[in-house]
Structure 1
Amino acid sequence: MNSEELVAFIRDIYSTNEFIPLHAPTFNGNESRYVQETIDSTFVSSVGKFVDDFEKKIEALTGTKKAVATVNGTAALHTALYMAGVRAGDIVITQALTFVATCNALYHMGAEPAFVDVSPESLGLCPKALDSFLSEHAEVNNGECFLKSSQKRIRAVVPMHTFGHPVELDEIIDVCRRWSLSLVEDAAESLGSYYKGKHTGCFGDFGALSFNGNKIITTGGGGIVLCSTAESGSRAKYITTTAKVPHAYEFFHDEAGFNYRMPNINAALGCAQMESLESFLKAKRQLAEYYLEFFTGSECQFVSEPTYARSNYWLNAVICPDESSREQLLKETNEMGVMTRPIWKLMHRLPMYQNALRDSLEQSELIESRLVNLPSSPVVNR
C-alpha cells in the first residue's frame, strides 16, 4: 500500500491540507439553538422536555418498545446487563475484539467475561464459535446455564456490532435459546445499522447505544438502553433515576438504583443531531463506497458490510496483508497528518482480563494484527 497515495486520496475527500481526525462530530443544524433553549429555561440537568423527545426519536428510529436515556454508553450497558439479571459472580460471554467498556461494565458488576472468537465477515461474535465454546464448557440444569468446571452461572451473551457491522443475530439468538442465555446487544457503534431490515439493539432482551463525541451522532456523552417491552422500559427508567418513589416533595428510594440520567442539555444536542442522522448515514455510505473503490485491486481488503445487513459504516477499516504492512501504514499516515488507528488491544491482553476463560481467538488475533481504521467523519453536502 502506497501511503502517500492514500493520504492524497483522503485529503481530496475532505478538501483540506490540515490534520484529519479519525471521526469528528458534525454540527450543522439546530444544536446551538436547542442547547441555548435549555440554558434559558434553566432545565439543564435530568429534568426537561429534550430527554423525553430524544427517547421518543430513538424509539421511532429503532422500533424498540422503550428507550431510556443515560449519561453514557457504559451506563446504558451496565443497566441493560442488570436488567437482564446479571449479578456478581456470573459469567457473561462476549468477544475479546471489543472496546474495553464492554468488559468494564461487567467488572464493576462483579461479573466475569468469557471470550469467544469473532466472525471474519462481521468482525463481531461468531455464532459457531459461541456454540462450540458452550458445548465444551457449559451445561444446562433446571433451565439455567452453568460453567461445568466451577458451576458458576453463565447468564448472558453480549455481542458487539463492531464498527457498526451487525453480527449474525438469527444464529446467535438460536444458540442463546438452546443454552438458556439472555441476549444483550452492545450496539454502541451501530445507530442506523440494520440486520435483515430490523435495527440493531432490538433483537435481544436489551440493547445499549452510545452517543460519545466520536459516534455517528453525539450528545457530548450519553447512551440509551433499548428495552424489548414497555414494562422492562419502565423498570429501567426507574432504576436509572435512583429508584426514587414518585412524590410531590419527599425523597424516598426503595432500592439501590443508579444515578444514570441523561442531562437535558445533552439530550438537546442529541435531538438536533437526530434531525441530521439521515444525511450523516447517506454521507457515510458514500464515503465507504469511495474507500471500497480505492482499495479494489490493492493488497488491502476494505471491510464491507455483511451480505445480510445494512451498516452505518461508523468506522471504515481495511485489513492489511500482514502485521508489518499494517505498522508501516499506521506510521506513515499519522506522520503525514492523517489519523489512522489500529483496532483495540484484545481484552485478554489487558491485565484485568488476562485470566478470563477464552477459546482460541484465532480470527480475533488475526484481525488485531492487520486491521487499520481510516478517517470516517461524514462529508455532508460534498
Structure 2
Amino acid sequence: MNKQWMEFAESIKNLYGKDFIALHEPTFNEKEIDYVTDCVQTGWVSSVGSYVTRFEEDLAKFVGVKRAVAVVNGTAALHIALKIVGVRADDEVLMPSLTFIATANAVSYLQAIPHFVDVNEETLGVDPFKLEQYLGEIAELRQGELYNKQTNRRIKALLPMHTFGHPCMLDELVALCDKYKLELVEDAAESLGSYYNGKHTGTFGKVSAMSFNGNKVITTGGGGVILTNDEELANYAKHLTTTAKVPHCWEFVHDEIGYNYRMPNINAALGCAQLEKISQFIEQKRDLTRFYENLVVNIAGIRLFKEPIHTKSNYWLQVILLDEQNNRNEVLNFLNEQGVMSRPIWTPLHELEMYKECPKMNLAITEQLKQTVINIPSTPVKVSKEKI
C-alpha cells in the first residue's frame, strides 16, 4: 500500500488516540452506571421494572410514534413485526440480499420465504424503480393480494433495510406497497436518529424494528424494539413477546403460542441513559464524516459514501467505496494490520447456502457493492474544528 494509505491509517489512530481502533464501540459514563446500579440495588433486574416502560415511552417520543415495544434483540423485533402484519408460512417477503442475515432469518422463523431484490448505489437500500419493473413482470394481483406467478405463492410484505443508517427511498417504497397491496415493514435496526424528508425512519410502514446491540448508535447490551402507530398491533406485540400470558393475579394462563422476548429491566436502564445522549452521538458521527471526507481526497480510487438526497443520516457505520485501482482484500488486510479495524459489507444472502434456492431478481448492483464497500471505524468521537 502507498504512502497515502499509511497516512490515512495514522490519521485515524491519532484521532482516537489508540493503537487499535475498533469498528464501533459503546460509549458509557456515570449515568449508565447510576441507572444499572439502581436496578441491582432494588432487585429489579429482570423482565419487569420501571426502566422498561420508561425506555419504551422515551424512545417512542424520540422517533415520533405512538408505541414502542421493547424486546430482547432486533431479530426478535423483526420476527414479531412480520408476524403481526400477517406474514404466514409459505408467504414470500421481498427484501434486499445486501443486508445482515437477521433480516432473512426473521422471515424464516415464520416458515416464510425471503425473495431477494436489488439495491441502488445512491442509498445502498432497495431500488424501488427496479423492483416495480420486476414485480410487473413476475407478479399479479388476485382478489386484492399479490402473488408470484412463477411460484404461485403470496407475496405479503416488503422488508427494506436502511443500510448503515442511510434511509431508503421511502416515498417511492410506500407508493409501491400501496400499488401492490404489500405490507411495508421497515428493518430500521441501524437507523435510530436517521430521517427521510424530516420524518424518522421506522415510521413509514405499519410496523418496524430496531436493534440496540452493543455496536449500534445506542445500546442496551442486547435489545430491540417494535415501533408502530397502531395501538392494537402494539398491544398484540406486547402480548406475544411476554409469552402470551393472560393477565391474572396468580394464574398462569396463556391463550396462544407466545415468545419469551421481553427486554430485561437492567438492559432498559442502560438504554434510558444512552438515549439521553443520542443527539451528542449523532452530532459526533456527522463530524466524523466530515473528518473522513477530508482524508479520502488524498487517496486515488476511493470515495466516502454520503447521505442520500432528502435524508439526514445517523452515519452508523462509515462507508468507503473502492474503484478498480484498489483491491478490496488488500485494503482490508492493510488497515487491519495497522490496527484500524475495517470490514467488508455482508456476503449477499442469496450466496449463502441456506438461502441459495430462494427467489431473486437480477442482483447486479448488490454483487458490485460486495466488491467495493468497506466499513471503517465509526465510534462517536470528538473531532476538533480544524480537522473538519
The answer to whether the Cα contact below 8 Å between 1:279 and 1:380 also exists between their aligned partners in 2 is no
Deviations 1:85-136, CA, capped at 9 Å, x for gaps: 1111100000000000000111121010111110101100110121122111
Deviates more, 1:160-169 or 1:143-152: 143-152
- 1:367 is the counterpart of 2:376: no
The answer to whether the Cα contact below 8 Å between 2:301 and 2:324 also exists between their aligned partners in 1 is no
Q: CA deviation at 1:356?
A: 1.2
Unaligned runs of 5+ in 2: none
CA distance in 2, matches of 1:372, 1:150: 36
The answer to whether the Cα contact below 8 Å between 2:301 and 2:326 also exists between their aligned partners in 1 is no
Q: Which residue of 2 aligns with 1:155?
A: 156
**TM-score w.r.t. structure 1 length?**
0.98
Q: Which residue of 1 aligns with 2:344?
A: 342
Q: CA deviation at 1:322?
A: 2.8
CA distance in 2, matches of 1:309, 1:248: 48
Distance 1:264 1:381, change over 3 A: farther
Q: Which residue of 1 aligns with 2:34?
A: 33
The answer to whether the Cα contact below 8 Å between 2:78 and 2:209 also exists between their aligned partners in 1 is yes
Q: Which residue of 1 aligns with 2:312?
A: 310
Q: CA deviation at 1:325?
A: 2.1
CA distance in 1, matches of 2:214, 2:175: 35
Q: In the alignment, residue 252 of structure 2 is paired with which amino acid? A: F
- 1:122 is the counterpart of 2:93: no
Question: 5 Å matches for 1:256-271?
Answer: 256-271=257-272
Between Structure 1 and Structure 2, how many residues are aligned? 381
SS at match of 2:36: helix
SS at match of 1:132: helix
The answer to whether the Cα contact below 8 Å between 1:340 and 1:374 also exists between their aligned partners in 2 is yes
The answer to whether the Cα contact below 8 Å between 1:96 and 1:116 also exists between their aligned partners in 2 is yes
The answer to whether the Cα contact below 8 Å between 1:77 and 1:105 also exists between their aligned partners in 2 is yes
Question: 5 Å matches for 1:52-91?
Answer: 52-91=53-92
CA distance in 1, matches of 2:335, 2:5: 6
SS at match of 2:327: helix
SS at match of 1:30: helix
CA distance in 2, matches of 1:40, 1:325: 53
Q: In the alignment, residue 185 of structure 1 is paired with which amino acid? A: E
Q: Which residue of 1 aligns with 2:49?
A: 48
Q: Which residue of 2 aligns with 1:169?
A: 170
CA distance in 1, matches of 2:273, 2:9: 32
CA distance in 2, matches of 1:5, 1:13: 12
Distance 1:380 1:47, change over 3 A: farther
SS at match of 2:216: coil
Q: CA deviation at 1:137?
A: 1.2
The answer to whether the Cα contact below 8 Å between 1:340 and 1:372 also exists between their aligned partners in 2 is yes
CA distance in 2, matches of 1:238, 1:198: 28
CA distance in 2, matches of 1:299, 1:231: 51
- 1:358 is the counterpart of 2:376: no
The answer to whether the Cα contact below 8 Å between 1:185 and 1:207 also exists between their aligned partners in 2 is yes
Q: Which residue of 2 aligns with 1:328?
A: 330
Question: 5 Å matches for 1:228-239?
Answer: 228-239=229-240
Q: Which residue of 2 aligns with 1:289?
A: 290
Q: In the alignment, residue 342 of structure 1 is paired with which amino acid? A: P
**TM-score w.r.t. structure 2 length?**
0.96
Runs of 4+ residues over 3 Å off in structure 1: none
SS at match of 1:226: strand
CA distance in 2, matches of 1:356, 1:323: 34
The answer to whether the Cα contact below 8 Å between 1:322 and 1:369 also exists between their aligned partners in 2 is no
Q: In the alignment, residue 161 of structure 1 is paired with which amino acid? A: H
Q: In the alignment, residue 351 of structure 1 is paired with which amino acid? A: E
